[in-house]
Amino acid sequence: MGSRPRKKGSCKLSSFYSKFRNEIAAGGAVDDQDVVKNSAVTTWSTVVIVVGLLAWLGVKNPWSLLFVAGLIVSVFLHELGHFVSARRSGMKVTQFYMGFGPRVWSTKRGEVEFGVRALPIGAFVRIVGMNNLDECDPADEPRAYRQQSYPKRIFVITAGSVMHMIIAATLFIGVYATAGRFGDTKELLIYGAPATGSPAEEIGLQDGDQILAINETKIASRTELVKTIVAFKPGDTVEVFRQTHINTCDKIFLVPLDTGSPMLSPRHARRLRVYLL
């Protein structure tokens, strides 16, 4: 029996898809001779689509756009770790690209080709001789990854992860140093439900209530509130003027607890058993 005729193009993959699939499978690090110049239409169509999606994301949710930008920076620093460590270890690096897909821009500095591709979904650094099947010029063999000592190979392969640790430590220290400590908001809002059986619960303090004054003394900060509360003795009656979470104002009376410790922190009025914003 003769074979059924195959529809033209039914199983044939597009050249763009094939190149993109091979590029992803190779971690982006395809050989120079395998990189075929994409048509201007394909390249810039992809760029327009990506830029349009990012613009739409920025309009819909700027924080999501900031998150994407942070991921791109993180990927860049990850690959930068591989790039710098490989160069310092004497290995030959031929490519450093941001993105995959159609090439948007590239330039060559010495033996390294730097560039940007249209899809910002990754990055890659190409080091010659990354595995035993990677063909390279015999003149480059002494500088191939596979010819280096074990410590050097470990240094290069882990450099990307080390960069993530440095990023995390930098962000942690930077955020804590600049905004990590809670400052006074000038609004003493109750955050969350008061502890069960606490004076605050017994008098009806609720999540979202704002403390305005105690014993007719205006309270303008958490520090003032803590100092005022700890000054009372167990059994004293405290008059609290509050604005409720439904925007009504009233006075309530409570008796602070004697816990043996006036507070846990400037945010935690322990004798009231409430947590403050």
Domain boundary among 119, 145, 177: 177
- The partner residues of 115 in beta bridges, in order of sequence, read 97, 106
* Domain carrying residue 134: 15-177
Half-sphere exposure of residue 276: CA atoms within 13 angstroms, side-chain side: 29
The number of folded domains in the chain is: 2
pTM for the model stands at 0.57
Same domain, 118 and 39: yes
Alpha-carbon Rg for the chain, nearest whole angstrom, is: 32
| pLDDT exceeds cutoff 90 at 169 | yes
- Find the CATH number of the domain harbouring 258: 2.30.42.10
Q: Which tokens belong to 218?
A: 């205006």
Q: Output the average pLDDT for the chain.
A: 76
Same domain, yes or no: 131 and 112: yes
- State pLDDT tens for residues 232-268: 776 677 777 777 766 666 555 555 545 444 333 333 4
State whether 147 and 271 are in the same domain. Answer: no
Q: Are 42 and 168 within one domain?
A: yes
Checking if the pLDDT of 33 tops 70, the result is no
**pLDDT tens readout for residues 218-236:** 877 777 777 777 777 766 7
Residue 104 lies in a domain: yes
Tens-place pLDDT, residues 83-127: 999 999 999 999 999 998 888 889 999 999 999 998 888 999 999
Are 218 and 164 in contact by the 8 Å Cβ rule? The answer is no
- Same structural domain for residues 205 and 267? yes
Given 122, 147, 177, which residue is the final one in a domain?
177
| Torsion angles phi and psi, residue 269, rounded to 5 | -80, 90
Which active-site residues does the annotation give?
79
